[in-house]
């Protein structure tokens, strides 16, 4: 018998909830949990639930089609369930139409459940887990919900991992060398990147033909040249303003949780989604289909374009943003995703979006002010489609980068450095063949004319592709310094390479520093951090810097996006300095919170020098592409350490 629609909803919702770390428990069932030790390393968890609101709680496990309606889950693999979940009272049978009138176990008042478990590792004093369950009613079916619980364990070991180090005070450092702050260092760089993206979007077939049409509309319909210029400038401002508005929701997220944008940028599934989306964008740019927003959006915006003077101009700008989405969307998506992987969060995103909007709006205003310039514009034609296809190849290269981010965070090793570079070489080779006319796509002209601009583009991409080839080898030329940070790190390789490897645990590094009487250099980093890789490949490799790091410091790298789950005994609910509660489940959770609590930052890379008494010797240091400047900061830390002896 086929699955009913409701049963499919049940299966899908249960599956996705099992992947989610952000689910909230429902008010329809109030739970309490306790534990009882039954043997060495063996416990029984006892759940008491009270169903409310006239709902019913499904209690079947592994029905005829293999579905669970309720199950206990743990993140730590050292905790195993011993037998199935046991129902100790409060259940009844019900012929449920959701399951084709099959008789299923439910509870509609109070219920008692037990789950036996075996813990092979250290037993924590407080065990964390979740109870995933499903509720419903006669006329409705609710998706699976999750009850997150902490339960005391008899004989368990109390969590001793340190996160907040009270002796670290950045306002009272032994030396004032270092950065005053990490915010705003690259905002204008992101703005310029967005500006370039806006200019590129102008050369797409969705936008370029609109320039003379729009400028002509304002200059001829405004009554006077002065009013036409005013309206065109207002039109350009509204284009800029609309793209700024798109970044506002990210500021709200950033205020809710300063680490949320970093978590988004390193989220494995989000990076995989970006990979898929960018591949779809690329195929669209190749001309096999067109991505558009629903027609009613454009129609509604266009219908308002004649309402009043200022309001009408605003809706004209909104109409442009909507109808050009099939071309600007992928470029804007590249910018948005790129900004989220950087360190400035929502503010960098706003600067990038503002730059993009300005790049898109500026020509409309300038051509309205100087309409004679329109005569110098090239005519629309096949070259616009060529620009679009070239962008499609670049979208494919970006897609590989996002897949690489997910691979690095999860350490799957499906895209080592050489395979990543090899894919880029293939993309570059195919792009050159396309520009030479060997490869054609649906909307290309049958005959390709290769003029000076096209020859220049062919040469540029040929040189770039040839430059990548040494990256496939195990030679000194494999570093590809011009691209450092974009491919996976040199250590993530098919070859065995000798590189400087810091420690990975703060307390272990501090103990070694005290034994060797050296200051501790903390490197807050991430697997998906571009600027971290640039520092490691361009600054750390400097002979003077490397000598200091290897011989004068004990270095520890703390990966804030490490998804390895902590042992149960090290998991905890941490109270932040602002009074909030944060679940520390993974290694990355621990080090990200360690950074934000002690060093007031969530951006990477961030470097800190700490003395043997765990006081800050200097102010912290952010991304520093100058090896000389970074060396000077290290020497300042050594000098401060010497004075404190």
Enumerate the CATH 3.40.30.10 domain ranges in the chain, comma separated.
506-644
CATH superfamily of 5-152: Thiol:disulfide interchange protein DsbD, N-terminal domain (2.60.40.1250)
Q: Residues 39, 116: contact at Cβ < 8 Å?
A: no
Of 55-69, 241-255, 480-494, where does mean pLDDT reach its minimum? 55-69
Q: For residues 99 and 102, give the distance between their C-alpha atoms in angstroms, rounded to a whole number.
A: 6
Residue 347 has pLDDT above 80, yes or no: no
For the purposes of burial, counting CB atoms within 10 Å of the CB of 160, is it exposed (0-12), middle (13-18) or buried (19 or more)? Answer: exposed
Q: For residues 639 and 541, give the distance between their C-alpha atoms in angstroms, rounded to a whole number.
A: 22
Q: Which of 349, 319, 355, 317 has the alpha carbon at shortest distance from 201?
A: 355
CATH superfamily of 506-644: Glutaredoxin (3.40.30.10)
Q: How confident is the model at residue 504 (pLDDT cuts 50, 70, 90)?
A: very high
Q: Which residues of 276-307 are buried (b: 16+ CB within 10 A; e: fewer)?
A: ebbbebbbbbbbeeeeeeeeeebeebeeebee
Mean pLDDT, residues 494-516 taken together? 90
At residue 254, the pLDDT reads: 54
The strand pairing partners of 113, in sequence order, are 47, 87
Instruction: Give backbone dihedrals phi and psi of 461, rounded to 5 degrees, phi first.
Output: -70, -30
Enumerate the CATH 2.60.40.1250 domain ranges in the chain, comma separated.
5-152
Q: Locate 175 and state its tokens.
A: 């030396």
Other CB atoms within 10 A of residue 207 CB: 21
Q: Is the peptide bond before 556 cis (omega within 30 degrees of 0)?
A: no
Q: Which residue has the tokens 């063949």?
A: 433
For the stretch 121-178, pLDDT in tens is 889 888 989 999 988 877 676 778 889 898 999 988 877 678 999 899 988 898 999 8
> Is the whole-model pTM more than 0.75?
no
Q: Locate 344 and state its tokens.
A: 């400035």
Of 79-93, 190-204, 292-306, where does mean pLDDT reach its minimum? 292-306
Q: Residues 596, 150: contact at Cβ < 8 Å?
A: no
Q: Which of 625, 607, 627, 626 has the alpha carbon at shortest distance from 617?
A: 607
At residue 47, the pLDDT reads: 95
């Amino acid at each position: 018998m086929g699955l009913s629609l409701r049963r499919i909803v049940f299966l899908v919702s249960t599956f996705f909830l099992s992947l989610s770390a952000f689910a909230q428990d429902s008010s329809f069932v109030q739970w309490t949990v306790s534990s009882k030790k039954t043997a060495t390393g063996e416990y029984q968890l006892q759940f008491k639930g009270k169903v409310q609101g006239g709902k019913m709680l499904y209690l079947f496990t592994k029905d005829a089609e293999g579905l669970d309606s309720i199950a206990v889950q743990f993140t730590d693999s050292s905790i195993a369930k011993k037998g199935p979940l046991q129902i100790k009272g409060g259940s009844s049978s019900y012929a449920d139409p959701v399951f084709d009138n099959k008789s299923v176990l439910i509870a509609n008042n109070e219920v008692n459940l037990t789950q036996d478990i075996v813990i092979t590792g250290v037993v924590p004093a407080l065990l964390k887990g979740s109870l995933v369950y499903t509720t419903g009613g006669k006329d409705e079916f609710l998706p699976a919900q999750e009850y997150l619980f902490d339960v005391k364990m008899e004989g368990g070991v109390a969590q001793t991992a340190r996160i907040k180090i009270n002796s670290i005070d950045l306002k009272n450092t032994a030396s004032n060398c270092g950065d005053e702050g990490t915010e705003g260092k690259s905002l204008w760089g992101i703005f310029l990147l967005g500006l370039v993206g806006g200019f590129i979007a102008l050369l797409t077939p969705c936008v370029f033909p609109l320039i003379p049409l729009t400028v002509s509309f304002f200059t001829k319909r405004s009554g006077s040249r002065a009013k036409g210029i005013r309206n065109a400038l207002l039109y350009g401002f509204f284009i800029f303003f609309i793209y700024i508005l798109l970044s506002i929701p990210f500021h709200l997220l950033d205020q809710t949780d300063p680490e949320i944008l970093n978590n988004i940028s390193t989220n494995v599934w989000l990076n995989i989604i970006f990979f898929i989306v960018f591949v779809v964008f690329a195929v669209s740019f190749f001309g096999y289909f067109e991505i558009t927003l629903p027609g009613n959006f454009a129609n509604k915006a266009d219908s308002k374009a004649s309402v009043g003077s200022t309001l009408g101009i605003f809706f004209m700008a909104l109409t442009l943003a909507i109808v050009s989405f099939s071309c600007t969307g992928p470029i804007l998506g590249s910018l948005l995703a790129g900004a989220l992987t950087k360190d400035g969060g929502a503010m960098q995103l706003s600067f990038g979006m503002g730059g993009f909007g300005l790049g898109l709006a500026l020509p409309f205003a300038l051509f309205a002010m100087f309409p004679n310039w329109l005569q110098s514009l090239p005519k629309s034609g096949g070259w616009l489609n060529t620009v679009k296809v070239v962008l499609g190849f670049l979208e494919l290269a970006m897609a590989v980068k996002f897949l690489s981010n997910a691979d690095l965070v999860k350490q799957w090793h499906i895209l080592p450095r050489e395979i990543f570079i090899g894919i880029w070489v293939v993309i570059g080779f195919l792009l050159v063949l396309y520009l030479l006319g060997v490869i054609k796509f649906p909307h290309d002209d049958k005959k390709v004319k290769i003029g000076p601009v096209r020859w220049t583009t062919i040469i540029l991409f040929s040189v770039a592709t040839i430059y990548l080839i040494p990256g496939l080898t195990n030679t000194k030329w494999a570093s590809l310094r011009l691209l450092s940070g974009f491919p996976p790190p040199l250590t993530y390789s098919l070859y065995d390479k000798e590189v400087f490897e810091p420690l990975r645990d703060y307390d272990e590094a501090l103990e070694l520093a005290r034994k060797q009487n050296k200051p501790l250099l903390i490197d807050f980093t991430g697997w998906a951090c571009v600027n971290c890789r640039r520092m490691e490949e361009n600054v750390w490799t400097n002979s003077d810097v490397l000598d200091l790091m290897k011989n004068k410091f004990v270095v520890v790298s703390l990966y804030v996006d490490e998804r390895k789950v902590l042992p149960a005994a090290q998991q905890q609910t941490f109270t932040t300095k602002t009074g909030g509660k944060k679940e520390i489940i993974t290694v990355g959770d621990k080090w990200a919170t360690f950074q934000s609590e002690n060093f007031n930052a969530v951006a990477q890379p961030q470097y800190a020098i700490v003395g043997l008494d765990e006081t800050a010797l200097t102010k912290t240091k952010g991304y520093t592409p100058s090896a000389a400047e970074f060396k000077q900061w290290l020497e300042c830390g050594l000098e401060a350490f010497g004075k404190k002896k």
